[in-house]
Structure 1
Amino acid sequence: MLSSVSLSRKRKLSDPPHSSSEPKKLPLPAVASLYNLDPAATGPQQIELRRKVCLRVGRSKKNDIILTPADCSTYHCEIGVSYLNGKDIIYLKDLSSNGTFVNGLLVGKDNTCLIRSGDKISFAAECHYILKYQASFTLKSARRPGTGSFYDSYVIGELLGCGHYAQVKECVRRSTGESCAVKIFNPTRKDANWATSLNRELDILMKIDHPNIVRSYETFVEPYDANTMTTYLVLEKVNGGELFNRIVSKGKLRQNETKALMSQLMSGLKYLHSLDIAHRDLKPENILLDITLRSSDSDKQTGPWDAHELDVKVKIADFGLAKFIGATKFTDTLCGTPAYVAPEVLVNSTERKYTKTVDMWSVGVLIYVCLCGFPPFSEELGPPSMRQQIIEGKYAFYSPYWDEIEDSALDLISRLLVVDATKRLEVSKASKHVWFDEVRPKKELRETAFKGTRAVVTRGYSNPIMLAERVKSSLGDDTLARAYSADVDMA
């Protein structure tokens, strides 16, 4: 007879698999991420931030995010995401006596602050991250042609410049180390037609390819917060600064130098106009210079440049997106800088339409400024006001500033600064003007060559202010724009 056998298990059976009625809990999706600004750093390259999760950051191994720099505190800060009134709110609480900095400003121990997309977070002297919303929260239909996030592909650097509706920063492509520039537009509220309009404009920008136009590499459209988007436009980085700075540093430009620069400007503008694109805001600040230096005195210069320069290339910048992204009231209503704006932009207030001829007026002002060092229209040349001077086409070639300038230059300017836009020279004709003709002898034109040229306007004695003096006395475009806008409101 068999005895009863007692069975005992020495180990537990493996846990049964989840049944279909018990779905496995998944973590909440990441709302935003912190990206390391130093790709060679030992710390984490990306820190994901999720709803209802608070991350503690510091040197201690008990932290969720461990940082190694010696000046990082044991428990440095807490970063979390709260969902409030239908919005994701990202906050940072500073726990460190060494300090946590947001955009260079100290938060302060036990203080809490809100952080937004694009904010730079500094945990230590050499430990910097930048916040951005995840790609899943971006407006995917508006992305052209970059994939992922801007911060996935680029490390952002120092500020290069600021404008009315954007700031420009240096950036480095992570994959190649190539130095570029990125224009970061002010946040813009989304609406039904916004993405379609922006896509169309971005597509045009990506197709533009001309040696005298700043090249656009790629774009990213990403959320700034729950209601607004920010556009990142990655551009060719130009090393020689603005034409404005060249004029200010020299006082004015030489005639042959101006001719060489304006010839290149005409070439780029002719290309844009052939695509039915008007720049609408041509000014010295939007004309960049790519300068190649001479390595020795034996290097043959390509043009009438300064002694140390081998070549100077004109690069037209800053056009196209202003009407879609973060433009200020001034840009919305006038779309141009006061001293360079065409008269038809000022008078057609009810049905304002921009055509390519507005650029040619601006070219006339540019040539004038380059050759004498001050603009043809300004408040100090009044009365009347600068606005009225432009509307009436009132300007003059003042002595002694214009005494040594070729008559052909005055003729070209007079054919560009024509109030009637239909009679203004188009770019194709302006680029063939006798002033650009290097083959002909440089001498005064015959009287017959001036048929059809408008009479030079003469007024009482005025004392123009040079661009260099304007910079020293803070009479910049912003000051003029405020005075100008007030004048427009009163008109």
Structure 2
Amino acid sequence: MDTQPAPWGKLLAFNAPGLTHIDCVRQQYRVGRDPKQSDLVVHDQTLRCSKNHFKIYLTGGIPCFEDCSSNGTIVNGTRIHKKMIPLTDRAEIEIKWDLLFLFVNTRDHYMGIPPLINDRYYVFESQVLGQGSFAIVKVAVDLHTLERLACKIIDTRRIQLNKTSHVDASLAAIQQEISVLRQVEHPNIVSIKDVVVMQDRNVALIFLSRISGGELFDHIVNGNGVEESEAKFIFYQLLLAVKYLHDVNICHRDLKAENVLLESSKPFSRLLISDFGMAKSLQNSLEQMQTKCGTFTYLAPEILDSPGGYSKQVDCWALGVLLYTMLGGALPFGTDQDHTRLLQRIRRADYSLSDERWKDISPEAKDLISRLLQVDANRRLTVEQALHHPWISNHQEVLARLYGKMLVKSGIRHGAAPGSVAG
């Protein structure tokens, strides 16, 4: 009686319409769009995947990969084009953008998918989205839905061993971020999907919604600023999101271009506010905060000087900095390289709207900036007032229509009036 030969590996495809795999028992397998040529067919309407994109095969007992496409394939973070390489165990394969595969070549893993988080998530080692002192953010896949997620992996042991840092504050910030994100649901705020604490590995994993358009910071830098019409739509979304936060008594405290993510690199895309590590959930709308935190170039003057604390209005100052930066292509008070001079400029709201860049910017936009960058927090516009400023309100109908279309394109059902967005 013939027996099935032992497989020399397994190729898994984390792509719609469902999780599929090949048990590798033959010498060679092809992957691509063409059902006639491919052993594993990739359903891709964008034509990123070639008809015959890549093949895996066994030669001399060694599993190998060969790219056959016109644009190349990413293997373990490196682009491979028209050449062959040996395949390592748990080799991560990507057809740009976001067509993901995993090759497993050891018998230990044959009976199932490699180690998962809570039997649900696979985290890609080679897909790094960002990195900080105590955390790294990588691409993850929810195997139940095949949704792409961002997995923020926090090294709790590193926090505890770093004696120069405020350990308690760092751990509290993690807990605070999780707590706040679990309270909020809004189209323009990153949503938390799951939290997994693995004490035996000294890590906490926060699974978040993931978007692939990059940071607003990069969008500003690459374009030397943002055209006023697009900046208006971006700012409109920011106002709606921050209004939602303030209405439920949450102050973000670290609004900046690096913490605003774009769903797409194309103009007029959806944005999401991220990084709630410094956010504060307040008891009521009048509660004052005392902790001096945030990013220096976006800090409101009262965070620096007010002995009685500060209010949610610090977010409105940061919004003013953001609007200035989008339209002007530079920070209003400079960078923090000259710390003393930066703080002096912030305390005096010392910025300029008169250089060459600003000659084509509308008076209404400049007026909104000046009303947000008020040193006196009581004179500074609230988010609600900013939404009724002429720069926004004179185009309210167009902005609302654009916003509705954007939500539909993003697959979000939304019935609330745009001026009072709720999740």
1:403 to 342, 346, 359: 359
Q: Confirm or deny that 1:342 pairs with 2:300.
A: yes
What is the alpha-carbon distance in structure 1 between the residues aligned to residue 324 and residue 12 of structure 2? 46
Task: Give the partner amino acid of 2:205.
Answer: Y
Q: 1:439 to 1:234 in 2, by over 3 A?
A: closer
Q: 1:131-152, CA deviations, whole angstroms, 9 ceiling, x for partnerless residues?
A: xxxxxxxxxxxxxxxxx98353
Q: 1:372 to 1:193 in 2, by over 3 A?
A: closer
1:257 to 221, 230, 244: 230
8 A contact 1:339–1:377 mirrored in 2: yes
Unpaired segments of 5 or more residues in structure 2? Answer: 1-9, 14-20, 25-59, 64-75, 78-87, 92-102, 107-114, 162-166, 281-289, 397-423
Q: 1:231-269, CA deviations, whole angstroms, 9 ceiling, x for partnerless residues?
A: 211111112111111111111111111111100110011
Q: Which residue of structure 2 lines up, in the alignment, with residue 211 of structure 1?
A: 187
Task: Give the partner amino acid of 2:189.
Answer: I
Task: Tell me the CA shift for residue 168 of structure 1.
Answer: 1.3
Task: Give the partner amino acid of 1:213.
Answer: I
What is the alpha-carbon distance in structure 1 between the residues aligned to residue 194 and residue 153 of structure 2? 12
Q: 1:333 to 1:123 in 2, by over 3 A?
A: farther
Task: Tell me the CA shift for residue 338 of structure 1.
Answer: 2.1
8 A contact 1:280–1:354 mirrored in 2: no
TM-score (norm 2): 0.58
What is the count of residue pairs matched by the alignment? 287
1:202 to 175, 178, 203: 178
Q: Which residue of structure 2 lines up, in the alignment, with residue 163 of structure 1?
A: 132
* Superposition pairs of residues 26-425 of structure 1, within 5 angstroms: 70-71=61-62, 126-127=103-104, 150=117, 152-157=119-124, 158-187=127-156, 188-189=159-160, 202-223=178-199, 229-291=202-264, 305=267, 311-320=268-277, 334-348=292-306, 353=309, 355-378=311-334, 385-425=341-381
Task: Tell me the CA shift for residue 322 of structure 1.
Answer: 7.3
Identical positions, percent: 36
- SS of corresponding position for 1:211: coil
Task: Tell me the CA shift for residue 160 of structure 1.
Answer: 0.9
Task: Tell me the CA shift for residue 286 of structure 1.
Answer: 0.8
- SS of corresponding position for 2:242: helix
Which stretch of structure 1 is more off in the superposition, 381-390 or 364-373? 381-390
Q: 1:333 to 1:378 in 2, by over 3 A?
A: farther
Q: Which residue of structure 1 lines up, in the alignment, with residue 417 of structure 2?
A: none
Q: 1:165 to 1:380 in 2, by over 3 A?
A: closer
- SS of corresponding position for 1:401: helix
- SS of corresponding position for 1:150: coil
Task: Tell me the CA shift for residue 155 of structure 1.
Answer: 0.7
Q: 1:200 to 1:380 in 2, by over 3 A?
A: closer
Q: 1:192 to 1:165 in 2, by over 3 A?
A: closer
Task: Tell me the CA shift for residue 432 of structure 1.
Answer: 1.1
8 A contact 2:188–2:272 mirrored in 1: yes
What is the alpha-carbon distance in structure 1 between the residues aligned to residue 310 and residue 238 of structure 2? 20
Q: 1:185 to 1:391 in 2, by over 3 A?
A: farther
Q: Which residue of structure 2 lines up, in the alignment, with residue 29 of structure 1?
A: none
Which stretch of structure 1 is more off in the superposition, 191-200 or 398-407? 191-200
Task: Tell me the CA shift for residue 38 of structure 1.
Answer: 6.1
Q: 1:281 to 1:198 in 2, by over 3 A?
A: closer
TM-score (norm 1): 0.51
Task: Tell me the CA shift for residue 292 of structure 1.
Answer: 8.6
When Rg is computed on C-alpha atoms for both structures, the one with the higher figure is: 1
Unpaired segments of 5 or more residues in structure 1? Answer: 1-35, 44-68, 73-102, 105-121, 130-147, 294-304, 306-310, 324-331, 441-491
What is the alpha-carbon distance in structure 1 between the residues aligned to residue 181 and residue 104 of structure 2? 35
- SS of corresponding position for 2:119: helix
Q: Which residue of structure 1 lines up, in the alignment, with residue 4 of structure 2?
A: none
Task: Give the partner amino acid of 2:144.
Answer: S
Task: Give the partner amino acid of 1:173.
Answer: D
Task: Give the partner amino acid of 2:351.
Answer: Y
What is the alpha-carbon distance in structure 2 between the residues aligned to residue 244 and residue 193 of structure 1? 27
- SS of corresponding position for 1:291: coil
- SS of corresponding position for 1:172: strand
- SS of corresponding position for 1:403: helix
Q: Which residue of structure 1 lines up, in the alignment, with residue 33 of structure 2?
A: none
